[in-house]
Amino acid sequence: MMLLYYRNKRQQTAKEKEMMEQAFNELLLQSQIETQEETFSALGKELHDNIGQLLNSTKLLIGITQRKLDYAPDTLAVADETLGTAIHELRSLSKSLNKEWLQQFNLIENLQTEIKRINASDDLKIHFVPTLNLPFKSDEQIILFRIVQESLQNAIKHAKAKNIYIKMSEGSSPLFTINISDDGCGFIASQLPMPGVGIINMKHRINLLKGNIQWQSFSTGTTVSIQLPVQPIYE
């Protein structure tokens, strides 16, 4: 009986230790994510307050120059228009980095804003049909937004894609699925170097949401599959 007691006690202690380690790792991941969000927020403010003001001042000077000249060259008008586009893009980017701004909107609205910003470049087209309901809290949606945002940037930078498709669905099981597919060049996993910071961050974020993320790549493109439990994660 005594041997059985100590055996059960040892198993219980091992289980408690495992649970404590898991809780610590989740807390550490959350702390890392929060630190990143604070960095993003500070960067967004710097873009808006500093670089944004510089661009606005430059645009103002161009306008003054145009009015003073009897004949303003077309290149000056093009420069003025280009600066206006850059200022608009900068505002959108600084907002997307601001956590407080993100908390005012849901994932769908944020994604639509991000997609509109990217599609304006005419270099590629993002196709997205939004779902009507998102079973996640705002803080969870912010983390999920960062995952999708990083996936889009990877497709733009590395895949040389012309089209990106985002599909959301809630299956019969309590899982919410997001598939992000592109028609780019794809990749061979065995030929890739070590995962970059972006991929590592995506894995950290999905672990924080207790979800799963997978990459499938072919010569015709890449698909990122994200699966998340529907039940509330934080109490």
For residue 93, give the H/E element and its range: helix 74-96
Query: What kind of fold does domain 125-235 have according to CATH?
Result: Heat Shock Protein 90 (3.30.565)
Question: Is residue 122 scored above 90 in pLDDT?
Answer: no
Query: What are the phi and psi torsion angles at 221 (to 5°)?
Result: 145, -175
pLDDT at 98: 67
pLDDT in tens, 49-63: 777 788 888 888 888
Task: Collapse the DSSP code of 193 into the 3-class scheme (helix H, G, I; strand E, B; otherwise coil) and give the result.
Answer: coil
How far, in Å, CA of 21 to CA of 13, rounded? 12
Residue predicted with more confidence, 87 or 100: 87
The candidate with the shortest Cα–Cα distance to 30, out of 142, 119, 136, is 142
Which amino acid is residue 9, in one-letter code?
K
| Mean per-residue pLDDT, 25-35 | 60
The candidate with the shortest Cα–Cα distance to 37, out of 92, 98, 94, is 98
**Domain limits, the chain:** 1-104, 125-235
The candidate with the shortest Cα–Cα distance to 144, out of 222, 195, 208, 234, is 208
pLDDT in tens, 188-230: 655 555 667 778 888 888 988 889 999 998 878 899 999 998 8
Sheet holding 212-218, edge to edge: 125-128, 163-170, 175-182, 221-229, 212-218
pLDDT at 233: 44
Least confident of 118-122, 127-131, 151-155: 118-122
Task: Collapse the DSSP code of 129 into the 3-class scheme (helix H, G, I; strand E, B; otherwise coil) and give the result.
Answer: coil
Residue 136: CB partners within 8 Å, gap ≥ 6? 107, 144, 176, 228
How far, in Å, CA of 199 to CA of 5, rounded? 46
pLDDT at 224: 94
pTM of the entire structure? 0.61
How far are the Cα atoms of 51, 82, 116 from residue 167, in angstroms, in the given order?
35, 33, 16
Strand partners, 182: 164
Strand partners, 180: 166, 224
pLDDT in tens, 96-113: 666 666 566 678 888 888
Residue predicted with more confidence, 69 or 234: 69
**Contact of 55 with 86, CB cutoff 8 Å:** yes
